[in-house]
Amino acid sequence: MRLVLVGPPGAGKGTQAQFLAAHYSIPHISTGDIFRANLKAGTPLGVQAKSFMDRGELVADSVTNEMVKDRLTHDDVANGFLLDGFPRNVAQAEVLRAILAEKARPLAAVLELSIDNAEIITRLSSRRTCKDCFQPSVGVDKCPLCGGDVYQREDDKADVIARRLEVYEEQTAPIVSFYRSEGLLITVSATGSVEEITLRAISALSRVS
């Protein structure tokens, strides 16, 4: 199963990615993990990425694309993968299509987690993060994991969330139309419990698994 997971910030992509990757026994590949691995190992791509980050700039698509291409050569993707955070725009989606075409292993599906912006703002603005273990929680005064103090991150404030959603609509949402035109898009509601959403996603993906 070769999957891409898309959806706005707050849709629960990270959580669902873990459950779906476990269900299909495929690696969960996030761009954040790829960046960290390359930076830690000091790879040539990691050095290039760091130069952008040190200047406070977004890492260039060309560098991100090469990191993803390299990651997809690893042995653990032989039976599939779940990409989370890539592609972020149509240009990256076209690059991914070309990478997979070289391997004659096209995507099976693109799973979109759909949720109203108002619910996202409510969900994220009620989130608190532990100062000690960084575990996010909702509606708590103390971390349920370690008992540490919690606080609201700047990017979990309502006005910041609204701007993040605007950026998503401008930059990332067009890939939904791209994958719809490719016949790969499967959309599921991201409302309800984590378990309900996971079962909903697995049921929707059963047509391609």
* Given 36, 103, 153, 163, the catalytic residue: 153
CA distance 55 to 48: 11
To the query of whether residue 153 is one of the catalytic residues in this protein, the response is yes
To the query of whether residue 123 is one of the catalytic residues in this protein, the response is no
To the query of whether residue 50 is one of the catalytic residues in this protein, the response is no
Residue 207, Cβ neighbours under 10 Å: how many? 9
To the query of whether residue 163 is one of the catalytic residues in this protein, the response is no
CA distance 101 to 111: 20
* Given 2, 71, 127, 128, the catalytic residue: 127
- Residue 126: phi and psi, rounded to 5, are -95, 0
CA distance 142 to 156: 17
To the query of whether residue 2 is one of the catalytic residues in this protein, the response is no
Dihedral class, residue 167 (left if φ above 0, else alpha if ψ from -120 to 50, else beta): alpha
* Given 88, 97, 157, 200, the catalytic residue: 88
* Given 2, 13, 71, 123, the catalytic residue: 13
- Residues with catalytic function: 13, 88, 127, 153, 164
